[in-house]
Structure 1
Amino acid sequence: MAGFGLEQWVSYLGLERVDDPDKDHPVYRKRLDGKIIDLRQLDLLVAQRLRELRTDRQLAQAKVAMLLGVKEATYARYENASSLMTVGRLLHVFEVLNITPEEFFDPLVNEQPSHSKAASREALRDQLMEETADHLKKLDDTTLKMVHDLVLAMEPRTIEKQKGNGAAKAAP
């Protein structure tokens, strides 16, 4: 028996036919997080992840380049995706950044874990609070009082929605 035919293999793996602008023939890809990411976009995500991990470790590009045995300009091109790394070089990067391939790629192909989503929501909330406070500081006294009264009027509705019934309190 010769094994799966192309269409059977495509179906078995859940692949979809994609017209890649860099190729003169179709390729077959899987959806990640509900969509098919263009290969160039995937290269950009890898470069962004590389930069993120390096900066998280507070390493300069020059130091990482030296550890990899490449010129700083070459390493900079890796981080802006204007040059692509070989698999061997990428594995070397994992060693230098002390990360496993799974840790590197997981955020690119999987949704964020729920605790990361909660942290992201909290960070967004903190940012919104800070920006709102900055805007409020610029208001004149009359407008600030109006905004204050509006927020107070909204509070019971917000509390009721958070309790889960979605109904606003009746007017007094």
Structure 2
Amino acid sequence: MDRTSLRGPLRGLTLIELLLVVVLLGVLLLVAVPGFERVQQRLEIRAEAGRLFTALHLARSEAVNRNEVVTLCPSAYARSGVLQCAGDYRDGWVLLRGGPAAGLLPAAALLRAWAPMAAGLSVLDRAGARQVADPISFRPDGTAGRNRTLMVCSGRHPRLISWSVVMNVVGRARLVRGWGDCPQAEVA
């Protein structure tokens, strides 16, 4: 008796079995890929809200430590190199010594700059009615003067739950999931 007869017949995949596995994998990928895109978008929304939260926390801390007014305002400085408070928070934002000023600002006023937000995201008010473009100033005692909500929404998937940075009148910020409703229409 030779050795091949002791092992039994050789087993393997036929061409039909292999094609069936490839087709099943293709169908699974078609179903799974859109879900992964939504997961990625949810993570981007959370990350951008976290960046805003960190910036507000830093602004408040700097105002107290420096014993002077510190302002967080929207600016495309990270992309353009022009230091001014203009546009909305999608373009990025800067932390400045002193209050908000119109026009170009001196480089000595800059404390920190943040890059633009991920494509397709916007910062809206709690009602989802308008882009937030107002500067936020902190006084030397850490107060901000009024309540604010900075809600991060997706223009590609408006039905995703938003993440918001909610700030009270004394300047304390917190990160909240689903605090407001993102608009159903595409955000510009």
Would you call these one fold, judging by a TM-score over 0.5?
Answer: no
Q: Highest relative contact order (Cα 8 Å, sep 6+), 1 or 2?
A: 2
TM-score bin (small chain): under 0.3
1 or 2, which has the higher strand percentage?
A: 2
1 or 2, which has the higher helix percentage?
A: 1
Q: What's the TM-score once normalised by structure 1's chain length? A: 0.24
